[in-house]
């Protein structure tokens, strides 16, 4: 009998349920009997022993459902080894729950912070297998994360819809796309949606060059301009500040986000009517797209096979169009950012897209 624990941690996304389904169906179809314990609300369930024994029926009918039926929560890695207000030693509590249930392995689905904690548990002697979940596509060791393509589809749809109203009124529109640290989502949705300007954290922008691009479009007969702006987009001036200085500046920001800051500056510099649209958490919600249903199912199936073989300490990733296993210690704490010199950036510039640099 194999006993497996499963949890989803961090922000939700559209393909968590299909990924868990892939793991479970592979395990249930194996030759050895299996029990799967689902921990509720991420690492919090593992810490406080909140779980339930899952049946085959729990994984039926969830392929098309977004979110996570186990629930999720954020348990920051930077405080994982610091007792909370209740005095609980989180790491010791997680280990206690693991051994109390006599688990053979923990299946953990999550992003960067989740993988740091997963690797810590591996170092503490627990058997762990992880799956790469994030709409940001910023996990090191995998070319793709599940949830990313679904989010690209939602963000692209938002940009598509803005096109018609921007064209009708001859306005400049900023669509703010999720992504605090990396610009994969904004870059892909911006290109797919036909944005004229794409601003991402990895390429600091010059507001004067953005204003110049808008004027050039107007002078050549363009009635409108679309900007796809990542949440973490940053100006060249701000990029030159230290982290401490930039943090202080953000604390004094009068507007909700960088998009509104950019809009305000562009109104002054270009004289055009500039509007901001923020799709927000809709990018993480709704049903997973067909690509993610297949992709998450494949990753889940491979994770299940690793468990059946007794191979632990890996993230199941995707490299060069093949599913691969990546040592957890190679993944934890690393971020996969957009290289400003990457071919996709070069190609976008050849299309006439400005990055404000």
Per-chain mean pLDDT for the chain: 95
pLDDT confidence band for 248 (50 / 70 / 90): confident
Instruction: Using DSSP, state whether 276 is helix, strand or coil.
Output: strand
Q: Which residues contact 90 (CB under 8 A, 6 or more apart)?
A: 43, 47, 75, 80, 81, 83, 84
**Measured distance CA(318)–CA(181) in Å, rounded:** 21
132-185: pLDDT as tens digits: 999 999 999 999 999 999 999 999 999 999 999 998 888 999 999 999 899 999
What residue spans in the chain does CATH classification 3.40.50.450 cover? 2-147+288-331
192-240: pLDDT as tens digits: 999 999 999 999 999 999 999 999 998 888 889 999 999 999 999 999 9
Average pLDDT over residues 76-91: 92
90-136: pLDDT as tens digits: 999 999 999 999 999 999 999 999 999 999 999 999 999 999 999 99
Q: Hey, what are 78's tokens?
A: 């930077």
Class of domain 2-147+288-331 (CATH, top level): alpha beta
pTM: 0.94
Burial class (CB in 10 A: 0-12, 13-18, 19+), 248: exposed
**Measured distance CA(178)–CA(230) in Å, rounded:** 6
- Residues serving a catalytic function are 136
Contact 71/17 with Cβ under 8 angstroms? no
Q: How many residues comprise the chain?
A: 357
Q: Hey, what are 250's tokens?
A: 């953000």
Q: Which residues contact 295 (CB under 8 A, 6 or more apart)?
A: 15, 144, 146, 149, 318
**Percentage of the chain modeled with pLDDT above 90:** 88
**Measured distance CA(143)–CA(320) in Å, rounded:** 7
What residue spans in the chain does CATH classification 3.40.50.460 cover? 150-284
> What's the fold here for domain 150-284?
Rossmann fold (3.40.50)
């Amino acid at each position: 009998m194999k006993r497996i624990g499963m949890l989803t941690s961090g922000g939700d996304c559209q393909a968590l349920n299909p990924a868990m389904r892939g793991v479970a169906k592979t395990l249930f179809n194996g030759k050895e009997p299996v029990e799967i314990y689902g921990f509720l609300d991420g690492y919090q369930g593992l810490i406080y022993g909140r779980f339930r024994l899952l049946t085959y029926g729990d994984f039926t009918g969830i392929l098309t459902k977004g979110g996570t039926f186990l629930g999720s929560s954020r348990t920051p890695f930077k405080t994982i080894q610091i007792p909370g207000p209740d005095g609980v030693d989180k790491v010791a509590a997680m280990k206690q729950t693991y051994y109390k249930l006599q688990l053979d392995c923990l299946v953990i689905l999550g992003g960067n912070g989740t993988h740091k904690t997963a690797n810590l548990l591996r170092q503490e002697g627990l058997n762990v297998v992880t799956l790469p979940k994030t709409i940001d596509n910023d996990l090191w060791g995998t070319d793709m994360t599940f949830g990313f393509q679904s989010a690209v589809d939602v963000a692209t749809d938002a940009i598509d819809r803005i096109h018609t109203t921007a064209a009708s009124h001859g306005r400049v529109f900023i669509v703010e796309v999720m992504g605090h640290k990396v610009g994969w989502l904004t870059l892909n949705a911006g290109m797919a949606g036909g944005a004229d300007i794409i601003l991402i954290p990895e390429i600091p922008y010059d507001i004067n060059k953005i204003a110049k691009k808008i004027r050039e479009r107007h002078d050549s007969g363009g009635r409108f301009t679309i900007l796809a702006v990542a949440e973490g987009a940053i100006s060249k001036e701000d990029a030159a500040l230290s982290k401490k200085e930039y943090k202080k500046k953000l604390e004094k920001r009068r507007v909700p986000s960088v998009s509104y800051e950019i809009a305000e500056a562009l109104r002054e510099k270009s004289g055009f009517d500039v509007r901001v649209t923020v799709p927000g958490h809709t990018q993480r919600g709704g049903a997973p797209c067909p690509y993610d249903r297949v992709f998450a199912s494949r990753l889940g199936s491979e994770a299940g096979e690793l468990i059946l073989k007794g191979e632990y300490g890996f993230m199941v990733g995707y490299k060069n169009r093949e599913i691969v296993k990546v040592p957890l210690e190679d993944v934890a704490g690393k971020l996969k950012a957009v290289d400003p010199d990457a071919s996709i950036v070069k190609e976008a510039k050849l299309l006439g897209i400005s990055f404000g640099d």
